[in-house]
Amino acid sequence: MPRRAVDPRSEAQRAFWQAMFGANSNQRHLSKNRPGFASYFMRLREGATIELMTLPELEAGQTGQEMTGWAHIAIAPGDEHQVDEMAVRAAESGILIAPSRRRAGLAIVSMRQLSAILMAI
């Protein structure tokens, strides 16, 4: 089986989750049944696992069919202090959209993940 090229977007996603959330990652999984499909499982310290999947031939915006990307994701990384620390790291990385603020007892920070994906922490 020929070796497939690594999608730089999936590598950037993987690096983001490792840097911002301390996630551990498996080796890239390549599907034997669906050529081009690759994924990483990102394990967060608290036990949650996120699968980052890529399929390069998908086109963005195909209504009613598989699509790429997501519009928004919200994660609770811990207490307000942890959120504030994450906001500092996001600012240092140049991805901070809005500084930490408080709403209904929650600390919220908005940052760009990749390709203007909004993430509220």
pLDDT of the residue at 115: 46
pLDDT at position 101 over 90 = no
pLDDT at position 111 over 50 = yes
pLDDT in tens, 24-80: 999 999 989 988 888 899 998 878 888 888 877 766 555 555 555 665 566 777 777
The neighbouring-strand residues paired with 52 are 40
Whole-model pTM: value is 0.64
pLDDT of the residue at 3: 44
Q: Which fold has domain 69-121?
A: 3.30.720
| Architecture per CATH, 1-60 | Roll (3.10)
Residue 114 burial by Cβ neighbours in a 10 Å radius (0-12, 13-18, 19+) = middle
- Sorted by where each begins, the domain ranges of the chain are 1-60, 69-121
pLDDT of the residue at 27: 92
Topology agreement, domain 1-60 and domain 69-121: no
- Residue 36's Cα: distance from chain center in Å? 20
82 in the Ramachandran plot: left (φ > 0), alpha (ψ -120 to 50) or beta?
alpha
